[in-house]
Amino acid sequence: MSKLRFVRHVRAGMAASIAALCLHAAQAQTPAVRPPMDPVVDQGIARVLAAPLMQRVLQAIKDDHERTLSDLKLLTEIPAPPFKEKLRAEAFLARVKALGLDARIDTEGNVIAVRKGAGRGPKLLVSAHLDTVFPEGTDVTLKVRDGKWFAPGISDDTRGLAVLLSWVKVLNDLGVQTVGDLMIVANVGEEELGDLRGIKAVFRDHTDIDGMVGLEPDPSGAITTGGVGSHRYEVTFKGPGGHSYVTFGQPSAIHAMARTVAKMADVRTPSSPKTTFTVGTVVGGTAVNAIAAEARIAIDIRSADMPSLLEAERQILAAVAAGVAEENQRWNSSAMTYTTRLIGDRPGGSTPTDSPVVQAAVRATTAFGRPMPRLMPNSSDANVPMSLGIPAVIVSNGGESGGWHTTGEWWDPASGWQDAQIGLTTVLALVGIKDVSEPLLRRRN
């Protein structure tokens, strides 16, 4: 596409996308009213895309797509179960260093590199997570069928890691100097009971980060602008136990657990803001002919609205107390006890839709001829900066995919480079390109 045609293409969608954003505002869950697109963002994205240097960057991303497949295969076939991401982290570290960046692994296990800008600009974190949900021993060998790549974790989020490496290579090969700094992070602990420990450590140790763009699979084109908070509890019920016949009349840990779960099932939560809960696992007892001395359940409570989450949590914990009390009362006993342990605490939050981070991601998407993206809440690494008031979004890591969190997970390499182009356009518009554009992202200090 010629430069003139490209500029016309960028301008042509501006009025339509402004109207679409206003329409989406009325339909979105939070907040109910959204402002129109900031003209500064429109102009900034147009300026970046019209630059000859950016045209070379976009072409280089497309040209690098085939090479990224080797990175993706290499990293996918290195197991990275929760809390055991070290081998994959070391492989990613070696690749980043080979591409010319000074990088290290921090005390939490995150790979961190900073690509310095020209100075006086913002610092933007760009990230993808190292860990997968799959336990140790899972076969992560990549298999190709009908053009699709199958392997546990290939899309969530190993593809994001490969895109980060491609961005670094292209920017370095073309000598692109940003105004602000790019902090490139491959983090641990996003999945399951990792409890966002990696990204929590990043924001704890680096207080100068001004914004975040994370990469995750999302073939529907949605942009995550809200953080669904969650509290997870392990509840342990303990009683005297005993023989099912000889000591009948003692309270049972499993019976207390069952009463508790039944009471939880009757808890009512609001549909808006969406607030959910589930008893995800149950464990207990030793034999069919024994009164259970111990039982455990794990509970997940979620909401995009923290007050709603805390109210659901209050009712859930009250159900535990009531279930145990009822089991004791049934047998005229006080022997049944319980303990609760918080095993997961993901803070909630949101990035306002008038934030340059959101608007740049939206505008970059529509500038490439894509439909207006949905803005939605999710549970991701972006929860942490959002909870701190730092603007953050999660955008697509590129390529159609499916079967996430199953051993049948797949990714389609066809046209996967397109979302990588959109994401890098967002990133470069936010930090600015020397002699091309000023940063859209504001420094917080």
What per-residue confidence (pLDDT) applies to 445? 85
Residue 269 within a domain: yes
Match 């990133």 to its residue by tokens.
427
180 in the same domain as 268: no
Residue 441 within a domain: no
Cα–Cα distances in angstroms (integers) from residue 27 to residues 34, 62, 223, in the given order: 10, 34, 15
Question: CA 326 to CA 76: how far, in whole Å?
Answer: 50
CB 124 within 8 A of CB 427: yes
18 in the same domain as 166: yes
317 in the same domain as 352: no
374 in the same domain as 323: no
Tens digits of residue pLDDT in 134-184:
999 999 999 999 999 999 999 999 999 999 999 999 999 999 999 999 999
Q: Where are the alpha helices (DSSP H) in 197-252?
A: 197-205
Question: CA 41 to CA 370: how far, in whole Å?
Answer: 17
Q: What is the DSSP letter of 441?
A: S
Domain boundary residue, one of 324, 346, 368: 346
What per-residue confidence (pLDDT) applies to 218? 83
Number of domains the chain contains: 2
Question: Of 170, 2, 153, 15, which Cα lies nearest the Cα of 88?
Answer: 153
Burial class (CB in 10 A: 0-12, 13-18, 19+), 18: middle
Residue 445 within a domain: no
219 in the same domain as 72: yes
CB 98 within 8 A of CB 157: no
Indicate the SS3 state at residue 333: coil
C-alpha dihedral over 25, 231, 158, 351, to 10 degrees?
30
Beta strand 123-129 with 211-216 is: parallel
355 in the same domain as 334: no
The backbone torsions φ and ψ at residue 92, rounded to the nearest 5 degrees and listed phi first, read -65, -40
Range of the domain at 46: 3-228+348-431
Residue 443 within a domain: no
Question: CA 161 to CA 166: how far, in whole Å?
Answer: 9
Residue 219 within a domain: yes
C-alpha dihedral over 383, 388, 391, 393, to 10 degrees?
-10
C-alpha dihedral over 236, 240, 243, 244, to 10 degrees?
-60
Question: CA 88 to CA 71: how far, in whole Å?
Answer: 11
44 in the same domain as 165: yes
Domain boundary residue, one of 329, 346, 363: 346
Domain boundary residue, one of 297, 319, 346: 346
Tens digits of residue pLDDT in 310-352:
999 999 999 999 999 999 999 999 999 999 999 999 999 999 9
50 in the same domain as 147: yes
Number of Cβ within 10 Å of residue 418's Cβ equals 19
State whether the Cα torsion 359-361-367-373 is positive or negative: negative
CB 383 within 8 A of CB 350: no
Indicate the SS3 state at residue 86: helix
DSSP secondary structure string for all residues of 144-204: EETTEEE-TTIIIIIHHHHHHHHHHHHHHHTT--BSSEEEEEEES--SGGGTTHHHHHHHH
* Per-residue confidence in pLDDT tens, the chain, 445 aa: 443 343 334 333 333 333 333 333 333 344 323 447 899 999 999 999 999 999 999 999 999 999 999 999 999 999 999 999 999 999 999 999 999 999 999 999 999 999 999 988 999 999 999 999 999 999 999 999 999 999 999 999 999 999 999 999 999 999 999 999 999 999 999 998 999 999 999 999 999 999 999 999 986 779 999 999 999 999 999 999 999 999 999 999 999 999 999 999 999 999 999 999 999 999 999 999 999 999 999 999 999 999 999 999 999 999 999 999 999 999 999 999 999 999 999 999 999 999 999 999 999 999 999 999 999 999 999 999 999 999 999 999 999 999 999 999 999 999 999 999 999 999 999 999 999 999 999 999 8
Residue 236 within a domain: yes
What per-residue confidence (pLDDT) applies to 219? 65
Residue 437 within a domain: no
43 in the same domain as 145: yes
Question: CA 435 to CA 164: how far, in whole Å?
Answer: 24
Residues in the chain: 445
Question: CA 390 to CA 351: how far, in whole Å?
Answer: 8
437: amino acid identity, one letter: S
CATH number at residue 192: 3.40.630.10
236 in the same domain as 224: no
CATH number at residue 331: 3.30.70.360
Q: What is the DSSP letter of 115?
A: E
353 in the same domain as 205: yes
134 in the same domain as 43: yes
Question: CA 234 to CA 322: how far, in whole Å?
Answer: 17
Number of Cβ within 10 Å of residue 137's Cβ equals 8
